Amino acid sequence: MLDYIPIILILGWIVLYYKVREVFAPWSIMLLVWIAVVSAYAYLDHGLYKTSDDFSSAILLWCSSFSIVGYIVYKLTPANTSPEWETNQTIVKFFTILALIITPIALYKAATFALSSGTDNLMYTMRDQVIDKDSGFSLGPIMYFVHVVFTLLIVSADAEKHWNKWFFLLCLGINLLFFLIIMSKLVLFISIISTLYLCYIHKRIKLRTIGITMIAFVVIAMLFTQTRTTSSGDTDDTFTLSELLAMYLLSPIPAFGLENPCSSPIWGYETFRPFYTILNSLGLYHGKLFDLSRVFVAVPIPTNVFTTMSPYYNDFGLQGIAVMGAIEGGIISFIYKKGSTGHTLARNLYAFLTAGIALQYFDDQFYLAISNILQMAVLIFIFHIKPVWKPDQKFLIKQS
């Protein structure tokens, strides 16, 4: 059955592209990524374990529900009729200055802490000190500043009437510095994919440029991982380039095969964990909060990512995958329709969401990352409003 999945997905993409000829539509990105990943897993000699029989049903349910509901919502959603939102340059300049102050200080703090352990394993230490709670290192609230950095880059790339190339490059440089602080390839990927999307729709680049950039990113990411792993000092943990490609691109598929349907301790616990956390902090939920950090499994390459479908499968089984795919596809397609027809805030938010759509084969970047999405939505709104004080001392917020 798995051998026929890529063909089915290709046919689905062709039909939808004939209906809506937009490469960056959410269903288009999703299907293209799954076509590439599933084809590589099904047809190439990768040496990974065989996935479960449920994977074929799961991927068909996910892609079908996401695409069909997404397309229907896109067609039913009225086009945006409101005028474009201009960025508030005062707010933009304020956060730019703040980023120019905070980012170098944070980089200095991270580098000096890592150097205190020596220079032989610097790259490994800089990443490990961020993710290891027992390392003694903490960026504190500065970690949340990454959303401000993302917003600056998105706003600078989305400027159409008065696009400032040098300001855009400055924001891109700040994002690269933040990547060095936490050594997270996800930060770099979000910066790249959101920028490529906005530059493409504003006709600054072509699809060829996007393809070359993404190939370069994959190569650099693999080399970066290999360098970071080698610098850890454990030669047993080093991998060949083909093993790294299998680890990051294909291993989530056999890892999904190790999951158990309807195995969560509480209804919807993995899918709605952020809401359980909020209810717990408000004293409305008194149950145990289980650790959702995923342990590494051998497939046989070690991996701790299980595709975006994993939490829904563990919570609700195959039917949960269909329902959650439909909800996610509908919401994202609504945002895309508004953004693609001129709504500035929706377009900016969708630019951020493109990375999560492209990484569905890897991990969930929607329900479990809802707090990040909400923070980005609030920041994008703040960057486009104009606070006004009236003589009667009433505080108003207007569209900038």
Q: Which tens digits make up the pLDDT trace of 164-202?
A: 999 999 999 999 998 888 888 888 999 999 999 999 999
Q: From CA 259, how far away is CA 314, in angstroms rounded?
A: 7
Q: How far apart are CA 243 and CA 307, in angstroms?
A: 18
**pLDDT mean over 320-337:** 97
Res 235: pLDDT? 43
By mean pLDDT, which of 106-115, 143-152, 317-326 is the weakest?
106-115
pTM score: 0.92
> Confidence band (pLDDT; 50, 70, 90) for 257?
very high
pLDDT of 237 higher than 60: no
Measured over the CA atoms of residue 14, residue 19, residue 24 and residue 29, the dihedral's sign is negative
User: What is the reported pLDDT for 75?
Assistant: 97
Buried b (16+ CB within 10 A) or exposed e, 2-24: beebbebbeebbeebbeebebeb
- Please check whether residue 187 is in contact with residue 178, taking contact to mean a CB–CB distance below 8 angstroms: yes
Contact 217, 188 (CB under 8 A): yes
Q: Tell me the percentage of the chain whose pLDDT exceeds 70.
A: 89
Highest mean pLDDT among 220-234, 277-291, 363-377: 363-377
Are 326 and 69 within 8 A, CB to CB? Answer: yes
Average pLDDT over residues 154-172: 90
Percent of the residues in the chain that have a pLDDT greater than 90, as a whole number: 59
Residue 348 burial (CB < 10 Å; 0-12/13-18/19+)?
buried
Reading the block at residue 300, the tokens are: 């046989």
Q: Using one digit for the tens of pLDDT, what is the confidence trace for 267-320?
A: 888 888 888 888 888 888 877 777 767 888 999 988 989 999 999 999 999 999
